[in-house]
């Protein structure tokens, strides 16, 4: 685990030296409302989710539903065009989802139904990690050294080493957001985020800024909502998170809105949405919109 944290620390130091992100999405500078990102390439009315764009390698990682299992995919983004999707070579028999990749693009976390060991008879989602050596992603290993109860989804790692993710108890359709703090080179028992974040309904898809100053997540059936799931933002205030703020009717839709990702320069929000589809034919596309966190930040 010490080796893992060294990777995170090095990535944080080096990320400040990169300016590759500055021009990547210039074409969307005037997009005050969400527009489809990569129409007919990245976005093709398919069933896919997640968004992680790495400016250093010009790669966008996401999850796509296959015939029998979900799989993690990657596309290059060259000259404002997304290249052909390539599947990350993880075992085909299991579903993989909810990908996170660090700024150096050499550490990947994701959720998977892979058995954790030879005697694992419980089919549940756990968080896994893989490192990239010489361009190839290595065989995944379980992220946690100890068993974590429940299904674990959507891991998100920050500069401190803290890991945010969602947990759905076995046999439940509900999920809440948790953080496992990194202390003394070990990951601590996951702690639930405050009750004003975790409602009695479902919360998922946590994106957390690398400095842990703000959080964006998908919420279901909250008091203020527009669709099946909506996006909300919360800010770190001293040692707690502020009450979530709805991102509004211009960003949210009547469908499922989720998988939020803010670009490294914090100028754009990328997310997935089922807007435009129907209950009989649900599909998701990727959307991008200009982002200004100050618009929602509560006054002190």
pLDDT digit string (tens) for 103-158? 999 999 999 999 887 666 567 999 999 999 999 999 999 999 988 999 999 999 99
Q: Which domain holds residue 37?
A: 2-17+27-198+265-295
Note the pLDDT tens digit of each residue in 28-63: 999 999 999 999 999 999 999 999 999 999 999 999
Q: Is residue 257 part of a domain?
A: no
Q: Is residue 121 part of a domain?
A: yes
CATH of the domain at 134: 2.120.10
Q: Is residue 244 part of a domain?
A: no
Q: Extract long-range pairs of 111-120: CB within 8 Å, 24+ residues apart.
A: 111/151, 111/152, 111/153, 111/154, 111/155, 112/140, 113/69, 114/90, 114/140, 116/142, 116/147
The pLDDT-based confidence of 12 (bands split at 50, 70, 90) is very low
In 42-103, where do the E strands start and end? 48-54, 59-65, 70-78, 81-82, 86-87, 96-101
Q: Is residue 131 part of a domain?
A: yes
pLDDT score at 239? 85
Domain count, the chain: 1
Note the pLDDT tens digit of each residue in 115-129: 887 666 567 999 999
Q: Is residue 104 part of a domain?
A: yes
What ranges in 34-75 are assigned the alpha helix state H? Answer: none
CB 97 within 8 A of CB 50: yes
Q: How far apart are alpha carbons 286 and 271 in whole angstroms? A: 6
pLDDT score at 16? 44
Q: Is 2 exposed, middle or buried (0-12, 13-18, 19+ CB in 10 A)?
A: exposed
Q: Is residue 237 part of a domain?
A: no
H or E segment to which residue 11 belongs: helix 2-15
Tokens in use for 61? 């990682």
The pLDDT-based confidence of 166 (bands split at 50, 70, 90) is very high
Give the residue carrying structure tokens 């405050």.
Answer: 194
- CA angle, residues 197, 203, 206, in degrees to nearest 5: 85
Q: Is residue 106 part of a domain?
A: yes
Position 72 pLDDT exceeds 90 = yes
Q: Is residue 32 part of a domain?
A: yes
């Amino acid at each position: 685990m010490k080796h893992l944290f060294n990777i995170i620390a090095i990535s944080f130091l080096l990320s400040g030296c990169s300016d590759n992100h500055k021009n990547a999405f210039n074409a969307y500078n005037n997009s005050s409302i969400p527009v489809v990102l990569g129409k007919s390439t990245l976005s093709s009315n398919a069933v896919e989710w997640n968004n992680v764009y790495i400016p250093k390698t010009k790669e966008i990682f996401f999850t796509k539903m296959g015939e029998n299992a979900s799989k993690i995919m990657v596309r290059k983004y060259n000259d404002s065009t997304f290249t052909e999707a390539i599947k990350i070579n993880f075992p085909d028999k299991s579903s993989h989802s909810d990908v996170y990749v660090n700024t150096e693009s050499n550490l990947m976390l994701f959720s998977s139904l892979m058995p954790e060991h030879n005697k694992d008879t419980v089919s549940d989602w756990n968080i896994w990690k893989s490192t990239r050596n010489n361009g190839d992603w290595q065989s995944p290993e379980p992220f946690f050294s100890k068993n974590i109860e429940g299904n674990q989804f959507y891991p998100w790692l920050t500069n401190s080493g803290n890991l945010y993710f969602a947990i759905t108890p076995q046999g439940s359709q509900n999920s809440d957001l948790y953080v496992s703090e990194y202390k003394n080179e070990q990951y601590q028992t996951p702690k639930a985020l405050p009750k004003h974040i975790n409602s009695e309904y479902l919360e998922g898809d946590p994106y957390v800024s690398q400095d842990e100053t703000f959080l964006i997540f998908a919420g279901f059936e909250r008091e203020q909502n527009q669709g099946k799931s909506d996006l909300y933002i919360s800010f770190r205030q001293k040692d707690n998170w502020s009450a979530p703020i709805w991102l509004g009717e211009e960003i949210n839709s009547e469908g499922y809105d989720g998988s939020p990702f803010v670009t490294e320069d914090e100028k754009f929000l990328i997310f997935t949405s089922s807007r435009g589809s129907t209950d009989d034919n649900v599909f998701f596309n990727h959307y991008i919109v200009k982002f200004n966190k100050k618009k929602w930040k509560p006054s002190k």
